[in-house]
Structure 1
C-alpha cells in the first residue's frame, strides 16, 4: 500500500512539473527525429558564412536582391552573409556552396515554377546540401515563407499550383499550434516554456505571417514524400480559418522551414502589423542562434582569405527601399535591400569574382536605372 501511494505521489508530482501546453499538446511530447546526427557534431568554424539565395528584381535598381533583414538576422547570431545569384553558372554556384556553411532560402515574391531559373538553381544547392550531409559534413538550410514553400516543392517534386492553396495571411501576426514532438525538435528545443505558451496564445500573436499561399496539412499525405521526410511541427490558420503547415523540420537533414518570418520583428518596421515585443524578438533570436550554431558545424571554407572577403555582402551597400518605391508595387516588401548586377545584365558564363571587382561594382551609381511601373516616376537613386 505504501509503495502504491508513493507511486501515485510521484505521478502527481510529474504532472505538476509538466510544461504548459501551447496550442496543441507540447507537454510530454516524444522525440521528433530520434537521433539527429547534426546535433552530435562538434563546431568546425566559429566564423560561419551563410549564403542567401538572391531573388529576381523587377522595379528596382538591380537584377537580383536580398532583403537586409535576413542579413541582420544571421549577423545577430554571429554569422556573415554571402549573396548567391540564382543566375550564376553552375561552376560559380558550386564554388560559393563550397565556401559557405549554410544557406537561407528567403521569403519574397518570385516564380516557383519547376523549370524557373530560381528553382533550378535552388534544386542544385539543395541537392549538394543533401550530399554534404550524407557525407558527414553538416550543412543547414533555413527556408522562410517562400523559402518554406520552396523546400517542400523540392522534396515533393511537384508544382506549387498543386501543392499550395490560397490563404488570407498577408500582414497577419498569429499563433502556432504545436504538434506532438515539437518541443524536442532542433528548432524549438530550449525555447522557454513562457515563449512556447505565448506562441500559441492569440493574446500575443508573435509569429509574423505574410503570405498569399499555404500548404494544407493534408497534403503531407497527398504527397507521401512530405510525410516521410518532414516533421510537421506547427500549423496555423488564415483569417478565414484555412489551416496550413507553418513550421517544419526535415527528418534526415538540418533543413528548417518557417512559413512565418522570424527575421522581421527585430529588423523590419515598415509594416505596422509586425510584432516588436520582447517576446517576438526573443523567439527570433532563438531560431537565429539555433540555425547559426548548426552552421558552425560545417567544415566548408573559401579557397583563400581574399575570396572570403570578396564573397561577403559587405562589398555591396544596402539601399533604404522603404523610402522609395523600387520594389514590386504588389509586394509590401523589405525596409532595406541589397541589389546585385544591373537589370539588363546577361547571365554570366562564369560569375567568378576578381579581386576588387565587387568593390568597384558597389561604388557605381544606380541613379536613373530604375524601371518603374507604367505611369510612375523613376525613383532617384544614388549609391555613394
Structure 2
C-alpha cells in the first residue's frame, strides 16, 4: 500500500513538472462609477480555486482589445451584477464561437447576470428572453434536476479525482444561493437548438426558472445561482453582521469547489500556452489590489 501511494505521489509530481501551464480566464468587469469598473474578488478566487488565473476584459473594451484578450486566454467568464449586455461580450462570444467551430475547446461560463447574458447571446434575442418579477433574492435552494442534468458534463463530470455525487448532493441540500429578480422560463429555452436545461427551481411564489444549462457539445455553461459565494462571500454589512443567508457547510463548500474545478479542467483543455506576458493582458492578482466594500468581502477596482 505504501509503495502504491509513493508511486501515485511520484506520478503527480512528474505530471506537475511537465504540465505546468496554468490556464487564463477573461472576466468581464462591470461599471462601478463614472471613473472605474470592478470585479468582486470572490469570482477571481473561485477561478483560482479551480486551477485557473484571471485577467480582466473591460466592459467597454474596443474590438482590437477584445480580440487581443481572447487570443491570450483559454476561457471567458460572465459574472453576476447589474450591467446590460455590452458589445464587448457580444464580440467575444462571436470570436469564441468561431474558435469552437475550428475545434478549439475555449470554454465560457456565466453566473447569475452572466447566465442571463449567455441566454441572450445563444438565442440572439436580447432582453425579451428574460422575465422580471422573480422573488429570488437571498434564496437558498436545492436543484430540481432534469434527465439531461443528471447525465450532464457539469454535474456528472468524468474525472478520476471527482468522488462526490454532485447530483445527489445538490438534490438533497439547499445550498445554491440565488440573488436575482430576472430569470429565464424553461419554455423559452426548451426549443433552443443545441442546449440542455440541467436544472430548474421555483422562487418564493412558485414561479419556475432555469437554474443551470450547458451546450450539448461545446464547453459552454451557465448557473443562475452563485457557486463562488459559498466559499468566498459572507454577505456582511459594515458592522460585520451577515445580511445574506449563504451556506458555508460541507455540502455548500464541496459543490462550490467541484464546479470550480470542473471549469478549471475545461479551460485547461485549450493547451498551447495562449497567454503571453508581452501581450499586455495582465493577470489580476499581480496587477491590482482589492478594496473592501459592504456588499462584497473584497472587490478589484479598475480605472477606466
TM over 0.5: yes
**Secondary structure of 2:291 counterpart:** coil
User: Aligned pair count?
Assistant: 275
Distance 1:220 1:45, change over 3 A: farther
Residue 215 of structure 1 corresponds to 184
Residue 267 of structure 1 corresponds to 232
Residue 155 of structure 1 pairs with residue 141 of structure 2? no
Deviations 1:83-115 (A, max 9, x none): 110212211111111101101000111124xxx
- The correspondence for 1:51, drawn from 26, 51, 71, is 26
RMSD over aligned CA atoms reads 2.1
> Where do residues 1-384 of structure 1 align in structure 2 (5 Å cutoff)?
46-58=21-33, 62-112=35-85, 118=86, 120-190=87-157, 195-201=166-172, 204-221=173-190, 224=191, 226=192, 228-270=193-235, 271-299=243-271, 301=273, 304-307=276-279, 311-313=282-284, 314-322=286-294, 333-342=295-304
Q: Which has the higher strand share?
A: 2
Residue 183 of structure 1 deviates from its aligned partner by: 2.6
User: Normalised by the size of structure 1, how large is the TM-score?
Assistant: 0.67
User: Normalised by the size of structure 2, how large is the TM-score?
Assistant: 0.84
Distance 1:274 1:317, change over 3 A: same
- Unmatched 5+ residue regions in structure 2? 1-17, 236-242
Distance 1:156 1:103, change over 3 A: same
Residue 350 of structure 1 corresponds to none
Distance 1:136 1:276, change over 3 A: same
Contact 1:168-1:239 at 8 Å conserved across structures: yes
Higher mean displacement: 174-183 or 294-303: 294-303
Residue 195 of structure 1 deviates from its aligned partner by: 4.3
Residue 198 of structure 1 deviates from its aligned partner by: 3.6
Distance 1:103 1:300, change over 3 A: farther
For 1:161 and 1:277, the matched residues in 2 are separated by 37
Contact 1:45-1:296 at 8 Å conserved across structures: no
Deviations 1:17-58 (A, max 9, x none): xxxxxxxxxxxxxxxxxxxxxxxxxx9873111110111113
For 2:103 and 2:20, the matched residues in 1 are separated by 15
Structure of greater Rg: 1
Contact 2:156-2:166 at 8 Å conserved across structures: no
Contact 2:129-2:184 at 8 Å conserved across structures: no
Residue 128 of structure 1 deviates from its aligned partner by: 1.1
**Secondary structure of 2:134 counterpart:** strand
Deviations 1:284-326 (A, max 9, x none): 1111111111111113645743447x5111201111112xxxx
For 1:259 and 1:303, the matched residues in 2 are separated by 29
Residue 74 of structure 1 deviates from its aligned partner by: 0.9
**Secondary structure of 1:187 counterpart:** coil
For 2:141 and 2:300, the matched residues in 1 are separated by 29
Distance 1:336 1:110, change over 3 A: same
- Unmatched 5+ residue regions in structure 1? 1-42, 113-117, 323-332, 343-384
Residue 193 of structure 1 deviates from its aligned partner by: 6.1
